[in-house]
Structure 1
Amino acid sequence: MTSIDMVKTHAEQTGALAGERILGSINTGKPGPTVVFFGGIHGNEPAGVEALSEVFRTLQEEGITLDRGSLIGIRGNLPALIRKERFLDHDLNRIWSRRRLESVLAKPEEERSCEEKELVLIYGWIQELLKTHSPPFYFIDLHTTSSKTKPFITINDSIINRFFSREFPVPVILGIEEYLEGPLLSYINELGYVALGFESGTHQDPAAVRNAVDFIWLTLCYTELLSAHPGKQENFERLDRAAESDHDFYEVFYRHELSETHTFKMKDGFESFQPLPKGTVLGSDEGGPIEMQKKGILFMPLYQKQGEEGFFLIRKTPAWALKLSAKLRKWKIHETLIRLPGVSWADKEHNALIVNLNVARFMNRPIFHLLGYRSRQRDQTHLIISNREHKARNEDYRNTFWFSED
């Protein structure tokens, strides 16, 4: 028998959301995948929490039983959800780097900030989950944006993430990890598991909840927790319409970084996936107007007070590049980079490489991307590049319907 253990929430206090960490938990007791959803990692993004609550409620009220495996829904930043703010002290989705995590874990509990305390609790929960549940593991982080957008997926660029993401009828954004420090999903990807973010729409738009609900149901089907779901086709078609039938892959090529004391203000009227010509004035800060330095597709313009990025720019990734990249990674061409002049290990664990651009002049970011590497500028002449493929647990997913050796 499938057991559904719904955890009751606390009473609402002063009209604000309050509740336990676990939104819902289903363990069938049968071997199968473990699927984890996070909602509310940012406290001003309640749509993911609402969507998960709706799905768990439907499972219970309609007596829908999963065929195998486990499903768990998690609230992220509880104090920020109560305050309806993105974060209180630190962005909880920017402090999951290995160095920051080690630093926080070493601190006495009383010296940790609000989000650092949340980090430690979620980290401990993940570690326990990996010990007590079985692979394949799927981690999904539900978000919304401050600007108008169609729904989309963001992933760290590994083949298992690509293969799983392409099942959904929404655009997929590659390479955002190259521009962000310490997202939760980057930490999980470093453990080798499928991990993707789903942005369902604008923060307070009811359609964002609907999109997230459709995405959750499709995830239950694509992970094979559910072998049959009568609403699957409707979920797919509705999400496809919301995404305007855009199933393309895109890649981030620019991030407009903001300081903690920024005065950046985005001009009204912009939205994600809006193509713009060079010279378009996007906003302003203390230095004056901010213009597009080259043409591109606008992505996640900032229309809220809290945030680390004013906007991103993206471009479409050709299908041939995706296929070539998959072939090169299958052949493990990336493992030969260490033999090239100007390339050396960045750490003793062999997690990253240093590229001396004065020596390896022929190397550039598009080549790294084809081979599965993402880079960060260390200084004027050196890049730090890291690869998700050597840690990806492909064997865990090889027997899934969506995994492909082609």
Structure 2
Amino acid sequence: MKHTTSPTAIEEPGDHGRRIGAYRGSDPGPLVICIATLHGNEPAGIEALARVLDVLSENRVRMRGDLVGLCGNLQARSAGTRFIDEDLNRVWQHDRVDAVLESLRAGGAVRDGDGAPMVGSAELAEQRELLAAFQSEHRRARGPIHVLDLHTTSSESAPFTTLGDTLQNRALALRLPVPVVLGLEEQIDGAMLHYFDRLGWANIGIEAGQHAAASSIEVHEEAVWILLEALGLIEAGSAPGGGDRRARLARRAEGLPRVLDVRYRHVVSEEDEFRMHPGFRNFELVEAGQELATDRRGPVRTAFAGRVFLPLYQRQGDDGFFIVRQRARLWLTVSRVLRTIGADRMAGWLPGVRPHSDRGDAVTLARWARNRYVIGYLHLLGFIARSDSGGRVMVRRQEGPGPRPEPPPRAS
């Protein structure tokens, strides 16, 4: 069986050591792309992928399909920081990605909408190389593509998954016995996983635990092995020493709800002098009015009860904390049925909801209709809230893969 785990053995011009390793099966099948250190201070994913690739190679595990590991932000990883100039997980807006792809096609500088060269940053260069790497893997794919984005947190945390709430992403996330967090993509603009939704590739983020914890490496290992089996790349039970991986992973999140929904994001800037109070664990229960942090204006309190999510205990980042609440499993069932029967076509029948004038995949809301009931029903149908240039709330349909553009030819 042909396979390799040595980055130098499979490195191509332009890869710049970005490929952690790969294991190519003897038979065609799904391609699983794992991305580690999109934030440079989150090294656990690299170590976990190296371990998985070593076990596959040493035991010559029979595989149907391919596993590839990519490093996200090489410069930030070398510096040991979340990012150098800008967060690499906040720069995947359509216009920017299209500009970078055009630069790959033309072989020149990245230019903005007016044709002027974009101001260079470390992350712009990283994004360009990542997009080139995705194109290379797309060309080599021998089946459907799945993306696992491996992350860790600055606070202590049980493992969980995040996703853009499409049915295929949800199905992938629910294969892991850990909490699923919905709604994060509605709070954060420009996350990398949005790009894979645009391509129609199933994708999830896997948050393993605290950055430096040895258990975070183990969680990423367990998650990758479980998904390799669940997606049919390897036979069930064929992973050496992995008989109780699901049980071990489930125990790490014992007692937590299966599905949660982000209800609030506390945005911070460097000027705010935000300081999270020490000791909060991810998913810890908090009460309405509880003081969670301080900033230059004084105490920072939560407006309602829930679970504190991703409390900020690192220097970089603009997310002070989130508040999440449990989402009923019945909601998932109802939304799946509604999306399957195409109920999204009836969104325009809702009071205050109208088709968007320029986009067929979007609707707009009258100001008086921006309440949790209308937004909640649109979420059921697979829409996600966004704001358009007119200042109105726009809810964009996210269900279904949409067009699947072929990767552009490699620049000469």
TM-score of the two chains, using structure 2 as the length reference:
0.87
Structural mapping, 1:126-205, within 5 Å: 126-205=134-213
Unmatched segments (≥5 aa) in structure 1:
10-18, 395-406
- Could you say which residue in structure 2 is the equivalent of 1:92? 88
Indicate if the aligned counterparts of 1:193 and 1:393 stay in contact, CA closer than 8 A: no
Q: Which moved more, 1:241-250 or 1:361-370?
A: 361-370
- Could you say which residue in structure 2 is the equivalent of 1:121? 129
Q: Give the C-alpha shift of residue 329 in structure 1.
A: 0.7
Q: Once the two structures are superposed, what CA deviation does each residue of 1:200-257 show, in whole Å capped at 9, x if it has no partner?
A: 0000011111111111111111111101325443211111111125461110010001
Structure 2 counterpart of 1:89, one-letter code: D
Indicate if the aligned counterparts of 2:3 and 2:57 stay in contact, CA closer than 8 A: no
Q: Give the C-alpha shift of residue 86 in structure 1.
A: 0.2
Q: Which moved more, 1:286-295 or 1:370-379?
A: 370-379
Query: Which residue among 207, 216, 223 is the counterpart of 2:224?
Result: 216
Indicate if the aligned counterparts of 1:214 and 1:235 stay in contact, CA closer than 8 A: yes
Q: Distance in 2 between matches of 1:349 and 1:377?
A: 13
Query: Which residue among 366, 371, 376 is the counterpart of 2:386?
Result: 376
- Could you say which residue in structure 1 is the equivalent of 2:57? 60
- Could you say which residue in structure 2 is the equivalent of 1:34? 31
Q: Distance in 2 between matches of 1:59 and 1:250?
A: 34
Give 3-state SS (helix, strand or coil) of 1:74's partner: strand
Q: Distance in 2 between matches of 1:358 and 1:203?
A: 43
Q: Distance in 1 between matches of 2:59 and 2:27?
A: 21
Q: Which moved more, 1:343-352 or 1:180-189?
A: 343-352
Q: Distance in 1 between matches of 2:348 and 2:376?
A: 18
Task: Report the CA distance shift for 1:246/1:160 in structure 2 as closer, same or farther (over 3 A).
Answer: same
Query: Which residue among 279, 282, 290 is the counterpart of 1:280?
Result: 290
Give 3-state SS (helix, strand or coil) of 1:273's partner: coil
- Could you say which residue in structure 2 is the equivalent of 1:7? 7
Query: Which residue among 74, 81, 86 is the counterpart of 2:77?
Result: 81
Paired residue total: 384
Task: Report the CA distance shift for 1:127/1:336 in structure 2 as closer, same or farther (over 3 A).
Answer: farther
Q: Once the two structures are superposed, what CA deviation does each residue of 1:313-361 show, in whole Å capped at 9, x if it has no partner?
A: 1011111111111111111111222465644444645243222234788
Q: Which moved more, 1:74-83 or 1:96-105?
A: 96-105
Q: Distance in 2 between matches of 1:257 and 1:361?
A: 21
Give 3-state SS (helix, strand or coil) of 2:315's partner: coil
State, as a whole percentage, how many aligned pairs show the same letter.
33
Q: Once the two structures are superposed, what CA deviation does each residue of 1:77-125 show, in whole Å capped at 9, x if it has no partner?
A: 0000000100000100000011232345533889421000010111122
Indicate if the aligned counterparts of 1:274 and 1:298 stay in contact, CA closer than 8 A: yes
Mapped pair 1:310 → 2:320: yes
Structural mapping, 1:224-239, within 5 Å: 224-228=232-236, 229-230=238-239, 231-239=241-249
Q: Which moved more, 1:329-338 or 1:96-105?
A: 96-105
Q: Once the two structures are superposed, what CA deviation does each residue of 1:270-309 show, in whole Å capped at 9, x if it has no partner?
A: 1111111111100011111001111111101000010110
Indicate if the aligned counterparts of 1:158 and 1:392 stay in contact, CA closer than 8 A: no
Q: Distance in 1 between matches of 2:2 and 2:357?
A: 46
TM-score of the two chains, using structure 1 as the length reference:
0.88
What is the Cα-based RMSD across aligned positions, in Å? 2.4
- Could you say which residue in structure 2 is the equivalent of 1:51? 48
Q: Distance in 2 between matches of 1:71 and 1:393?
A: 25
Give 3-state SS (helix, strand or coil) of 1:125's partner: helix
Q: Give the C-alpha shift of residue 54 in structure 1.
A: 1.0
- Could you say which residue in structure 1 is the equivalent of 2:308? 298
- Could you say which residue in structure 1 is the equivalent of 2:107? none
